[in-house]
Structure 1
Amino acid sequence: MPQRKMLQLCTRALLLLLPCFGAPASGETSSNFSQCLDFFYNETPPTGIGATGYQPICQRYKNQYRFASLYHRQRRAPLYSAYVLSPSDGKRPKASWMHEPQLAFSHASPEMKPFRIPEDQNVIESQAVLLDYKNSNYTKGHLNPSMHQRTKEDREATFTLTNIVPQRAGSNSGPWNRLENKVLRTFRAFCNSSMYVITGAVPYLSGARRINGRVSVPEYVWSAYCCPAYSDDLPEAVKPFFPTYAAVGRNDRDSGDEIVPVNVKTRASTRGYGVRRMSLETLEGILKQRLALKIGLFHEQCQ
């Protein structure tokens, strides 16, 4: 084969390998999740989300991938985090809060790093920092909760602000915490395979809320799981929860009732922060309406 023709064929093959959103970046923040596809069912990330404004992050800690997050640079908050549920074998760690160096410097270390005091100005400009949450009246709400991770290192890795959204305490320590525990019990009792979980946030439709004028506050948080192999003898009451199920939680007690109704029977501290459980299809319909994105969370609906 002539050398020129061979060069053309090699160039064409190389172009076919490039990610669809543009040229690859070095390190763990890039234009796709190619380095951490194991955290998605059938190694397929959610579909229907364009590249504009979003930064895929393969969350790396102590030289190992721990989970994946899709981060919105302008909102300084993740749209979602994806992980494989693995029940904790220890207590919540006393971990240092961390940041993603590569959001600030494209050629920085691929490892998440603890914040320094005072915080680096390049880090401040590129992502949420600890000062954003100080005196904000919001807690640091994990999308990938430490209780859903087995090892100490996996649990520590969840303490990065690229996995965090501003969440009201009434939600974080109330109905949303109970949902996380319910998903854990469901996994232990009935799931015979890996359980793939994606948890995310829905910003306000209008009148965007931000803490410190920087970090987007979600009106709702949501979560969905996929368990492709489960018990053959599921109780009738449990069958609707397999192979997929989902939920949406209120993060604003003054929001309307159209997505999550208010439960007036709950105690005052958590009233208005209820959680509505629903099918995967219902959740995807809500996300399509609120985010103007036709999102498919799991490959072929986890079938």
Structure 2
Amino acid sequence: MSGCHSLAVVVLLFTGGVFLCVANVGDFAPCLQFFYKSWPPKGLSGTPICQRYQNQYRFATLYSRARRSPWFSGYLYTAPAGKRPSAEWKFEPQLAYPEADGNMIPFPPGPLDQNVVESQAVDLDYINSTYSRGHLNPSLHHHISEDRYATFTLTNVTPQKAGSNDGPWEALEQTVNKTLDAYCLGEAYVVTGVIPYQGDEHWLKNRVAVPEYMWSAYCCPRYNHSLPEELKHKFPSFAAIGRNDRNSTEEIVPVDQTAKKQFRGYDVRKMSLQTLEVYLKDRFNSVITVFNEQCSGSD
């Protein structure tokens, strides 16, 4: 049975103020196609999930059981079609039962199995809270409906303030969409993740860890070299960090005081892949490498 079909006991580590969980069974082997050169990001530990919907792998997630939240999701960008779907929220049965079917499934009506509740975030964690369900792999970055529906699993979301989710972060996702659609000639690989607080974790209902920042990076090794001057620094790779706490310091992401009130403090700072990795190293106390050879495009 592949690593995406079997998850076993996890060993919890505490490193530099960040809980990391390491699965002693489970890897990305069945879904390496979602990473540039079949090479998942290095430097973070967690439970790999090959996210499967309707018996097909749709994207990949590194999940933290301790935080009941993903560290990152990696996926292949495809130009979207149609409106944002209204999909059922789903969960990952294998996190509760190692021998469960490999497909994500919708939350059932009525009380939930306690093993599911203990193993991951559930709908009740977000209901009547001050946080929205923030997609790491957004539905708007996919063409076919099944890929879009598959993004609506709580193993792909993190507690995100509406000021970020509906404001600057959504604008970033739209910008990435337009840029890759217009100029990327081959496959475009995207990895989106979270950055925890420097000190004590912040929690949603004492169960789900809340990130201080979100980050995203793309890799497009084959692109149209007739780029506008203002886009030349955005290929083959580019990245960004967004604020998820309007009270955070401005060391990583400055605040635009002229922004609309509901979005002020949830700014996004665009940057090179190398700069992103410097910030990740500083926060995680570990060298984090997002793409093989910095998405150099070399074979």
Once the two structures are superposed, what CA deviation does each residue of 1:109-144 show, in whole Å capped at 9, x if it has no partner?
Answer: 000011122111100000000111111110000000
2:5 aligns with 27
RMSD across aligned positions (CA): 1.3
Is this contact kept in 1: 2:4–2:50, CA < 8 A?
no
Q: Which runs of 5+ in 2 are unaligned?
A: 8-24
1:144–1:26: structure 2 CA closer, same or farther, 3 Å change rule?
Answer: closer
Equivalent residues, number: 278
Is this contact kept in 1: 2:61–2:70, CA < 8 A?
yes
| Secondary structure class of the residue paired with 1:35 | helix
- Cα distance in 1, alignment partners of residues 200 and 146 from structure 2: 39
2:279 aligns with 286
1:90 matched to 2:82: yes
Is this contact kept in 2: 1:56–1:68, CA < 8 A?
yes
**Aligned letter for 2:28?**
F
**Aligned letter for 2:39?**
T
Which structure has the greater CA radius of gyration? 1
**Aligned letter for 1:128?**
A
- Cα distance in 1, alignment partners of residues 287 and 26 from structure 2: 20
Deviation at 1:24, TM superposition (A): 6.5
Greater than 2 Å deviation, 4+ residue runs: 23-26, 28-31
Deviation at 1:48, TM superposition (A): 2.1
Candidates 98, 112, 118, aligned match of 1:119: 112
1:26–1:261: structure 2 CA closer, same or farther, 3 Å change rule?
Answer: closer
- Cα distance in 2, alignment partners of residues 119 and 94 from structure 1: 22
2:71 aligns with 79
- Cα distance in 2, alignment partners of residues 185 and 146 from structure 1: 14
| Secondary structure class of the residue paired with 1:201 | strand
**Aligned letter for 1:44?**
W
- Cα distance in 2, alignment partners of residues 28 and 189 from structure 1: 39
Percent identity between the two aligned chains: 54
**Aligned letter for 2:5?**
G
1:252–1:26: structure 2 CA closer, same or farther, 3 Å change rule?
Answer: closer
Deviation at 1:25, TM superposition (A): 4.6
Once the two structures are superposed, what CA deviation does each residue of 1:20-46 show, in whole Å capped at 9, x if it has no partner?
Answer: xxx975716552100000000011101
Candidates 102, 117, 121, aligned match of 2:94: 102
1:25–1:235: structure 2 CA closer, same or farther, 3 Å change rule?
Answer: closer
Q: So what's the TM-score if we normalise by structure 2?
A: 0.91
**Aligned letter for 2:65?**
R
Question: What does 1:207-246 align with in structure 2 at a 5 Å threshold?
Answer: 207-246=200-239
Q: So what's the TM-score if we normalise by structure 1?
A: 0.90
Candidates 149, 152, 175, aligned match of 1:156: 149
